[in-house]
Chains A and B, each alone.
Chain A
Amino acid sequence: MLELLTRLNDAAKSKVLTLQEYFVLAGKSLRFMFARPFYGQDVIQQMDEIGVKSLGIVLLTGLFTGMVLALQSSVQLKTFGAGMYIGNLVSASMIRELGPVLAGLMVAGRVGSGIAAQLGSMRVTEQIDALNTLGTDPIKKLVTPRLLAALVMLPVLTVINDFVGIIGGNIIASLVVGLPSAQYWRTVWDQIANDGFTLRYIPNDFIQGLTKPIVFGGVIAITACYFGLGTTGGTEGVGQSTTRTVVTSSILILIVDYFITQLLLSVLTYG
């Protein structure tokens, strides 16, 4: 019994310690954004890696999500004779939820795994130690540029994702339901306007749709760097870190998404 308690205690301690390390890493890398030296070139390179190179999968994800949304909702809405409201549905779902979450999940898979594998192999080949030895803080040199790039690029990718998704909906609405494009786009805008504005001009949907990807970007970058830098056990360890990164950041995205939504719905005035 005592042994069980001790073991539980140890397990709890190590979990708390993990959490603490995670937040220390996040805090440090955030703080280093404002401290010299700045590794501008690394930031640009990471923006290319995280943002530009993820464009393809995000375009495909957005297009097909929008299309399938329109297709499914057309069936449902038709039964109520409300086929012309497809635009409302696609726009609200894409901008508020699916755009950020799906872009986040795709980037977690593509970029998170890449970061974890890269930092992990740098760890096991002593390149992280080499950075330390050469007088560079690895967090500043490796984590901060990735975090900054993710914070900037994920919202950009999300906006593209939303836009392409709504276009996908437009295609299906006109091909399958026969809804004119002008009508479709009017309902898209109606939905955004109906959801209300903050400070008179900023649509609430946009606030939701842009807050989420910023947070997701942070989650992906920090999770990937945390597991990557913590890699032990040679090349096998690199594989494990990669897997852990994708699983953990995907789950975290879904969990964090719920809480942001909850928070924003209570803060923003809808309708």
Chain B
Amino acid sequence: MADRRGPPDTGEQRRSTDVGPTNDRKSAAVRHAIRSELAVDAPAGAERDAQRTAEQSVVELQHVSLAFDVPIIEDISLVTREGETVAIVGESGTGKSTILKLVLRLLVPERGRVLIDGEDVTPLTFDEALAVRQKMGMVFQGAALFDSMSVFENVAYPLREHTKMNDDEIEQRVREKLQFVDLDPDRVMEQFPAELSGGMRKRVGIARGMANNPRIMLYDEPTSGLDPLTTGTITRLIMKLQHELGVTSLVVSHDIRAVFRMASKVALLHDRRITFLGTPEEMAGSEDKYIQDFLGGFST
């Protein structure tokens, strides 16, 4: 896969390795399992997203490369349009989280451009980048709540930093966000992150990420390290955010089941490059050996 690509179109499928007739029984079973999963959850979101494809790109990566001592990612191009949820999947250590850091401009790409709302963020100064980041809400893998602050202060943090809201308005907003993530404000507001369970911490993380009503939400492994039930809760929350508030989302995950439920597009990161980009259905129907192997765990 050495050819250079233009900005990818929605739904267009790309393959890295040769596509052989690997249709053994196992992969057929895998695809069937995936399709039945999709049939339950995906259609509504996918249809609506399909109507929006013509709209402006919200988050866009153009031929982005980054290396520290060794190359991390090479020639990544990805477009996320208004209201879409794009999931980036791949094995651990393939640089998935790096892409989020590039979008947040916590890292600057060596080559290529990162565009937020059509604006190139690569040449921005540190202070300008701080401003652009306010358009985005980020949910970290370990929630990254501030240990020294209560749940209330955590969720109120972006409001105190960037708005002129008074204390009453802030409290009202914090309560609203905590309720949105199905937490009882009166019970958790005064607690500290260390007192919360993993799932609750994640939910507070989401509440903090969305406190400022950002139009873009970024999730780094939102369901990792959670039990299946909590995983379901978090996945539903992310979908609720998409549907009720229409935010554009970028999800990094290796939890393929959760991804298939919430994503309108899936990008597969393999060998530092995006080797597949398409809808979950297309991914499930792919004949590609690596994709089949990658999805293999899904049927079990």
Which residues on A are within 8 Å of B, measured CB to CB?
37, 121-122, 125-127, 129-130, 132-137
Report which of B101, B106, B142, B161 forms a contact with A136, defined as CB distance below 8 A.
Answer: B161
Which residues of the other chain, A, contact B161 by a CB distance below 8 angstroms? 37, 134-136
Report which of A37, A129, A135, A137 forms a contact with B144, defined as CB distance below 8 A.
Answer: A129
Contact B131 A130 (CB under 8 A): no
Instruction: Say yes or no: is B134 at the interface (Cβ < 8 Å to chain A).
Output: yes
Contact B101 A129 (CB under 8 A): yes
Assess A129 versus B133: contact at CB under 8 Å? Given A134-B161, A135-B158, A135-B161: no
Which residues of the other chain, A, contact B106 by a CB distance below 8 angstroms? 129, 132-133
Rounded to whole angstroms, the CA-CA distance of A127 and B149 in the bound complex is 12
24 A-B contact pairs sorted by A residue (CB < 8 Å): A37-B161, A125-B144, A126-B141, A126-B142, A126-B144, A127-B144, A127-B147, A129-B106, A129-B138, A129-B140, A129-B144, A130-B144, A130-B145, A132-B133, A133-B133, A134-B133, A134-B157, A134-B158, A134-B161, A135-B130, A135-B131, A137-B126, A137-B127, A137-B130
Rounded to whole angstroms, the CA-CA distance of A136 and B157 in the bound complex is 10
* Interchain nearest-CB distance for A235 vs B (Å): 13
Rounded to whole angstroms, the CA-CA distance of A227 and B256 in the bound complex is 38
Instruction: Say yes or no: is B4 at the interface (Cβ < 8 Å to chain A).
Output: no
Which residues of the other chain, B, contact A37 by a CB distance below 8 angstroms? 161
Report which of A122, A125, A127, A133 forms a contact with B136, defined as CB distance below 8 A.
Answer: A133
Total A-B contacts with CB atoms under 8 angstroms apart: 52
Which residues of the other chain, B, contact A136 by a CB distance below 8 angstroms? 130, 161
* Interchain nearest-CB distance for B192 vs A (Å): 13
Which residues of the other chain, A, contact B104 by a CB distance below 8 angstroms? 129, 132-133
Rounded to whole angstroms, the CA-CA distance of A132 and B158 in the bound complex is 11
Rounded to whole angstroms, the CA-CA distance of A135 and B126 in the bound complex is 10
Which residues of the other chain, B, contact A129 by a CB distance below 8 angstroms? 101, 104, 106, 138, 140, 144
Q: Tally B residues with Cβ within 8 Å of A.
A: 23
Rounded to whole angstroms, the CA-CA distance of A187 and B136 in the bound complex is 67
Instruction: Say yes or no: is B25 at the interface (Cβ < 8 Å to chain A).
Output: no
Contact B146 A130 (CB under 8 A): yes
Which residues of the other chain, B, contact A122 by a CB distance below 8 angstroms? 146-147
Rounded to whole angstroms, the CA-CA distance of A13 and B25 in the bound complex is 58
Which residues on B are within 8 Å of A, measured CB to CB?
101, 104, 106, 126-127, 130-131, 133-134, 136, 138, 140-142, 144-147, 157-158, 161-162, 208
Rounded to whole angstroms, the CA-CA distance of A9 and B209 in the bound complex is 45
- 9 nearest A-B residue pairs (beta carbon): A126-B144, A130-B144, A133-B138, A135-B130, A126-B140, A134-B158, A135-B134, A127-B144, A135-B133
* Interchain nearest-CB distance for B217 vs A (Å): 11
Q: A124: nearest residue on chain B (CB-CB)?
A: B142
- Name the residue among A126, A127, A130 with the largest chain B CB count within 10 angstroms: A130
Which residues of the other chain, A, contact B142 by a CB distance below 8 angstroms? 125-126
* Interchain nearest-CB distance for A144 vs B (Å): 15
* Interchain nearest-CB distance for A122 vs B (Å): 8
Which residues of the other chain, B, contact A135 by a CB distance below 8 angstroms? 130-131, 133-134, 158, 161-162
Rounded to whole angstroms, the CA-CA distance of A154 and B232 in the bound complex is 52
Rounded to whole angstroms, the CA-CA distance of A130 and B143 in the bound complex is 9
Which residues of the other chain, A, contact B126 by a CB distance below 8 angstroms? 137
Q: A28: nearest residue on chain B (CB-CB)?
A: B126
Assess A130 versus B133: contact at CB under 8 Å? Given A135-B162, A137-B126: no
Which residues of the other chain, B, contact A133 by a CB distance below 8 angstroms? 104, 106, 133, 136, 138
Rounded to whole angstroms, the CA-CA distance of A130 and B149 in the bound complex is 13
Rounded to whole angstroms, the CA-CA distance of A254 and B210 in the bound complex is 49
Which residues of the other chain, A, contact B130 by a CB distance below 8 angstroms? 132, 135-137
Rounded to whole angstroms, the CA-CA distance of A126 and B134 in the bound complex is 17
Rounded to whole angstroms, the CA-CA distance of A125 and B136 in the bound complex is 20
Rounded to whole angstroms, the CA-CA distance of A129 and B162 in the bound complex is 17
* Interchain nearest-CB distance for A6 vs B (Å): 16
* Interchain nearest-CB distance for B201 vs A (Å): 11
* Interchain nearest-CB distance for B2 vs A (Å): 32
Which residues of the other chain, B, contact A132 by a CB distance below 8 angstroms? 104, 106, 130, 133
- Name the residue among A121, A127, A134 with the largest chain B CB count within 10 angstroms: A134
Which residues of the other chain, B, contact A127 by a CB distance below 8 angstroms? 144-147
Rounded to whole angstroms, the CA-CA distance of A137 and B126 in the bound complex is 9
